[in-house]
Structure 1
Amino acid sequence: MKILLVMSPMLRHDTHLLSDKDNDIPIGLCYIASVLKNAGHEVAILDGQITPCIEEKMISLIKTEVYEAVGFSAVAQTALGTIRLSELVKKHNPDILTIIGGVHPTVTGKEVLIQMPSIDIAVVGEGEITILELIDCFKNKRDFKSIDGIIYRRGDDLIQTKPRALVQNLDEIPFPEYSLIDIEKYTPPPGLFFKKPIAGLITARGCLFNCNFCADRVIWQGKCRLRSAQSIVNEITLLVEKYGVKEIKFFDSTFTINRKRTQDICNLLIEKDLNIVWRCSSRVDTIDPEMLKLMKKSGCESISFGIESGDEEILRKMNKQITVEAVKKAVKWANDAGMEVKGFFLLNYPGDTVESTEKTIKLSRELDLDFAGFNLIFPSPGTHVRRQIEDHYEINQKAWDNLNTPIGNEVYFYQKQLPPGYIMSVYKKAIRGFYFRPKTIFRAIKRIRNIEMLKSYFAGFIRLLKIKANDRK
């Protein structure tokens, strides 16, 4: 069969579909493409994140190519983009099978097909095995009821089958089909890379922790599975030797979740001597000075920590299971190892007060961080914090009803102990206060090592100036 896989774009305020060059490779679609291609199907990928005039491109492809199925990958923020494109597909050829997979259908269930009348089937959870069975049934005109992990239409009814069992050995899944994308077109936002081209890797699925704001446990059934160190390094070798990749971004929420595996990956990278740099995300309680030094030696130039709050009580309410003291130690150790260090913080968490918020902002400035990311809590479907907000807080209905649109950082609910307008004001204050100070600027200048980084940092600084200018309007 001939199958088109589409990474859905976001929908702007003016109802135009948005493409943006600052995006990661569509790793999930590349995995799906790989299993389909190995099964003998003809597959193409259309990435709405980086394709200008995506609607015109989609119409052209549907008219000129004889696709029998179109699969969309979507998160909450790209749901409206998926609706728009799936409507175009059905308008030009109602016989094409339309499928949606990814985080959004996994956490929303049947609601996704109510939202999207032009989608025929939703894949819930892991899609590699499901998509093969689904395409086989469609090709041979068999009923979908025997396929685990899907929601499909039967007349006016929505039928959800039993959950798909997780793949136990991730090494058995073939590497993503990188040949269907142009890796050089994918560049992270300014200031967030060292070398180009850059590729992303997934080394694990799931998480052992249970933060109340995170949807990982919903998506991965509360389990965590790891690829082997050898499989990971084999994929990196492929990316370097075949595609000329110079930097790797590990997509895992906690790359360092298993100490021995982390050490094995580092030692294999040192042994292979691939001349690659890499970056990862970690928790402050899964690293130590010895591990960080080994990571640095193997090419790790940047590490990100989910710090979230500077208030111990808020960290407890988040079920983060870390302390402010542990945060301070981890950031110091990463600096001592010579890494670029990023910290991410959440504002307006349920229970936050003016005092706890000020503690968070103060901590972000006290720590030796190169970058700080501030976000207002986003109530992801299926999470504990979403249920908590729905049950106990006054909802900002306009923002809540538009969770599927890229409306930026919004206050999704109100807390009586926080004055009106305080959160948006302090959010802007946090960004300005961190970046527009000599300490942050000097750290950035010291880290510049090539012309690419200079251009990237300069572009990032211009963006910050625009943000500051907009704040004054």
Structure 2
Amino acid sequence: MKILLTTPLFGDFPIRDPMFPLGITYIAGVIEREGHSVRILDNYLEKNNEDDFVKIIEDFKPSIIGITCNVDNRFEAFALSGIIKEFSEDIMVILGGPFPSVCHKEIIEDIKSVDIVVREEGEYTLLDIINCLENRKPLDDIAGITYRIKDEAKVNQPRPFIQNLDALPFPAFHLLKIKEYPSYMAEFKDSFLDKTNIDAAYTASLIFGRGCPYNCLFCSSKELWRRTFRILSPENAVRQIEYFIEKGITAFAFWDDHLLLDRRWFNDFVQRIKEKKLQFIFKCLGRVDSIDEETAGKLREIGCKMVYLGIENGSQDILDLINKGVTVAQIENSVKLLHENGILATGGSLVNAPGETRENILENLEFFKKLEQTYSRGQGKPKGIMMFKPANIIIFPGTDLEKIAVKKGRLVNFRWTNDYYEKRNLLMDSSPYTPLYENVAIEKLIEYLISAALKIRYYTFLAEITWNQIIYGGICSGSVDKNYKRKFYISKIFYFISRAPFKDKVGYIYTILSHVVFPKVKNKLIRGIKKDAIYALHKA
């Protein structure tokens, strides 16, 4: 049987950098092992439009098309399912991924062009579906799917998680155009503390583990994985790295939420890399409570250039409120240890959480200013920790935050399958297709952030918010003065400059020139124009 596994089509927003669709490479590996013909199509990489896609399925003639999606590209996935059914009612359309796993019932009830939703892990579930189709058997006994019977959603029993990930066949990386993906290191290399071997032309994305044992207020992982965690053996993880090194790729992005969770596993992983004398660079994610002196040293030894930390906030009250389970002291210690080992520490801050006060906002900014001043090199753009960038906390399906939003009337008669577009989200550089939790209105939040930054003379943050929230966000959202008071925000900043001592004027102007004007125009505007041009060509 022929199976096409695909990402949604290239959409209006967000215009994203393509990344390896790792989940479907594992699924493809299982299906190939059973002798089926599989193709992986990454529309984000290939920039396919509707006509391109239809031509591909005309030529390949798949019996099943599986679409992987998440919450921010769900509408693109729904639209693609409609395109497929318009082409041929006989093709079975299956949706999978994090978002469908949580909202499976809504999808089957509301999106008639989707036949089946695969919940959670799809490797053996899709294989069972194929076997049922080939043998003309009903779907009743397939664990882990939701499907339609007489316009009603039928939710089958859950499928147990795969406990031994090493039992899965090697992912079908050969079905990806691995050297057409961009380097994820390029945009950060000027900030790396250690400049050794940073000019890799390609980057490979890898994930070794699944699940999360933690309980953060804003995260869907608890609903998706039920606070479990499993990971490949260190031997298998290293074998995946070797696969790409043999193909000339020596830079990696490890997207595991918890690469450092199991200390014994990580030590074994490091030891195997050293024994094989593998030379590569990488960036990874990490909780701040997983970074100690030994771990930071081992990360440096095997080529780590950057760790994206789950900092989330510099106010202990907010960290406790969102169930992060860490302290501000642990955050600062992790940044310090990484900095001492020549590793760039980066991490964003979630703002506008339920119950956040103006005092919390001020405390948050003071903490990030302290980190920047302590772990920076020279003036201007900090080296050692990336600039503070506020992100409005996002409501994801199945989270405790979603329940709070419903209870407090922030989400009224809301369904994840219904049309949703809120352009005000762009003011916070966030997708307009996913609701934000607004403890206070976004416009008021920006005012509070500016006011706090002015109070503590946080120049780099003022430069960042001048660009992202006022200029770039305002342009993207098509905002006008009467709605978003953009002139008011700008006037507040320039009022501060006009009354500030000479050295403060110089400090702010220098910061906005060095941090905003030169690098942003060079990188963000040109990059954005290039992407818009590519998109326009495909729409033409």
| SS of aligned partner of 1:78 | helix
The 3-state SS of whatever aligns with 2:153 is strand
2: distance between equivalents of 1:91 and 1:465?
Answer: 37
Instruction: Report the alpha carbon displacement of residue 322 of structure 1 after superposing the two structures with TM.
Output: 0.8
Q: Which has the higher contact order (CA 8 A, sep 6+)?
A: 1
Q: What residue identity is the alignment partner of 2:324?
A: K
One of 28, 51, 54 as aligned partner of 1:33: 28
Q: Which amino acid aligns with 1:2?
A: K
* 2:231 alignment partner in structure 1: 226
Find 1:264's aligned residue among 237, 260, 268: 268
8 Å Cα contact 2:307/2:345 also seen in 1: yes
Q: Which runs of 5+ in 1 are unaligned?
A: 444-456, 468-473
Which structure features the higher share of helix residues?
2
Count of residue pairs the alignment pairs up? 447
Counterpart Cα distance in 2 of 1:402 and 1:302: 38
Structure 2 CA distance for aligned equivalents of residues 440 and 30 of structure 1 = 43
Structure in which a larger fraction of residues adopt strand: 1
Partner in structure 1 of residue 400 of structure 2: 384
Q: Indicate conservation of the 8 Å contact 1:74/1:104, yes or no.
A: yes
CA contact (8 A) 2:9 2:50 kept: no
Tell me the equivalent position of 1:276.
280
- Offset at residue 73 of structure 1 (A): 0.2
Question: Comparing 132-141 with 385-394, which one deviates more in the overlay?
Answer: 385-394
Q: Deviations over 1:358-403 (max 9, x none)?
A: 2222322321313544321111100011101110244599999655
Instruction: Give the secondary-structure state (helix, strand or coil) at the position aligned to 2:289.
Output: coil
Q: Which whole-Å CA distance do the structure 1 matches of 2:392 and 2:201 have between them?
A: 31
**SS of structure 2 residue aligned to 1:213:** coil
2:203 aligns with 198
Work out which of the two has the higher radius of gyration on C-alpha atoms and give 1 or 2: 2
Deviation at residue 88 of structure 1 after TM alignment: 1.1
- In structure 1, how many angstroms separate the alpha carbons of the residues matched to 2:95 and 2:250? 32
Post-superposition CA distance 1:224-249 (Å, at most 9, x none) = 112211111111111111x3211111
Q: For 1:302, give the aligned amino acid.
A: M
The aligned residue for residue 448 of structure 1 is none
SS of 1:25's equivalent in the other structure is: coil
For structure 2, the residue ranges without an aligned partner over 5 or more in a row are 190-197, 376-384, 454-459, 468-507, 529-540
User: How high is the TM-score relative to the length of structure 2?
Assistant: 0.76
**1: CA distance, partners of 2:320 / 2:338:** 24
Corresponding residue number in structure 1 for 2:248: 244
Deviation at 1:89, TM superposition (A): 0.9
Of 245-254 and 145-154, more deviation after overlay is shown by 245-254
Do 2:40 and 2:176's aligned partners in 1 also have CA atoms closer than 8 Å?
yes
Deviations 1:292-330 (A, max 9, x none): 111110111111111111111111111111111111111
RMSD across aligned C-alpha pairs, in angstroms?
3.0
Aligned AA (1:463):
K
Partner of 1:2: 2
Q: Which moved more, 1:367-376 or 1:75-84?
A: 367-376
Q: Does 1:322 align with 2:339?
A: no
Contact 2:406 2:412 in 1 (8 A): no
Q: TM-score, normalised by structure 1?
A: 0.87
* Corresponding residue for residue 470 of structure 1: none
Separation of aligned partners in 1, 2:54 and 2:520: 34
| Partner residue, 1:42 | 37
- Distance change >3 Å, CA 396–CA 23, structure 1 → 2: farther
Q: Secondary structure at the match of 1:110?
A: helix
Change (3 A) 1:426 1:68: farther
Q: Out of 428, 433, 436, which is 1:412 matched to? A: 436
**2:83 aligned partner, one-letter code:** L
SS at match of 2:394: coil
Residue in structure 1 matched with residue 171 of structure 2 by the alignment = 176
Give the 3-state SS of the residue equivalent to 1:304 in structure 2: strand
Q: What secondary structure sits across from 2:83 in the alignment?
A: helix
Provide the residue aligned with 1:462 in structure 2: 523
Q: Sort the Cα spacing of 1:309 and 1:157 in 2 relative to 1 into closer, same or farther, 3 A.
A: same
Counterpart mapping for 1:359-438 below 5 A = 359-367=363-371, 368=375, 369-395=385-411, 408=426, 409=430, 412-415=436-439, 418=440, 421-425=443-447, 432-433=462-463
Structure 2 residue matching 1:191: 3-state secondary structure: helix
